[in-house]
Amino acid sequence: MTFAMSTSRQSDDEVLASGEYPLTRRDLGEIAAMIYSDAGIALNDSKASLVYSRLSKHIRNLGLSGFRAYCQLVSSPEGAAERREMLSHLTTNFTRFFRENHHFEHLRDEVLPGLVQRAKSGGRVRIWSAASSDGQEPYSIALTVFQAFPNVLDYDFKILATDIDPKILAIARQGAYDEQALESVSPATRKQWFKEVEIGGRRKYQVDERLKRLITYNELNLMAQWPFKGKFDVIFCRNVVIYFDEPTQMRIWTRFADLLPVGGHLYIGHSERVSGDSKNDFDNIGITTYSYVGKNGGRK
């Protein structure tokens, strides 16, 4: 990957975003290199304002003199915890219940009938939400599963939800949301599966414990080793790969293919497409919906 580093026409000292603490090209380049190494996220000059807005207040709270001192801290062994904190600040966690609802409709109508039958016959079923953010995606999956399979908790049927950010996972595990977050949840579903509570003086809607029991939350970096022993029948990884460069995207598609059985399903974001060597391993069967057909399209 090529980062925003200096050339004959570009100075390391050029200010890309200004304010309380000027953000120079050198600073952005070092931050970009660390974020790419840690999480595969690609940053360039166009993200200077975003980086500034998300880190400047934190730099002030740390009592540092600016971005140069901050880069020195997070690149040092003593700053390992702050480097993880930087990742939390720079990762995007926009999500909502039933986002891109066609995926949940496809799951309900085309995928779950077969998975439910397998579970009832004693089989194992696993679904992975690979970038679960604050939990709205995995809880949407769980709501869809319960609609099709009310006694799912009696069977070997589990949802794994992972994210790189431990802070956002803590919110997901709590499962309490503002009313605005539930705008895409039907009144009947809200009434059945959410309980109004007060947390910190604010009105929240708490998900039903049955939904929590179906889901296991774990911290996972998609760039690191994946500790999975078995395969997944369904993988949701939506609006995440778009932040990776092309070589990283291709590696992710290959790793997903290795974890899916033939006939398994992959749901991705609206701006994403399976690419690279794995392109022929999947059939595009709907809007950003893929079925794994085997290596090289099932041909040996």
**Per the structure block, which two tokens stand in for 252?**
């992710």
Range 217-231 burial, b when 16+ CB lie within 10 A, else e: beebebbeeeeeeee
Give the closest residue to 27 by CA, choosing from 41, 16, 42. 16
For residues 190 and 247, the answer to whether their CB atoms sit within 8 Å is: no
Report the SS3 class of residue 215: strand
Instruction: Tell me how far apart the alpha carbons of residues 68 and 28 are, in angstroms, rounded to a whole number.
Output: 10
Instruction: Tell me how far apart the alpha carbons of residues 143 and 189 are, in angstroms, rounded to a whole number.
Output: 8
Is 208 one of the annotated active-site residues of the chain? no
Instruction: Tell me how far apart the alpha carbons of residues 272 and 152 are, in angstroms, rounded to a whole number.
Output: 31
Kindly state the helix (H) or strand (E) to which residue 158 belongs, with its residue range: strand 157-163
Instruction: Tell me how far apart the alpha carbons of residues 297 and 290 are, in angstroms, rounded to a whole number.
Output: 12
Is 163 one of the annotated active-site residues of the chain? yes
Catalytic residue (one of 27, 134, 163, 233): 163
Catalytic residue (one of 38, 45, 54, 245): 54
- What are the residue numbers of the active site? 54, 163
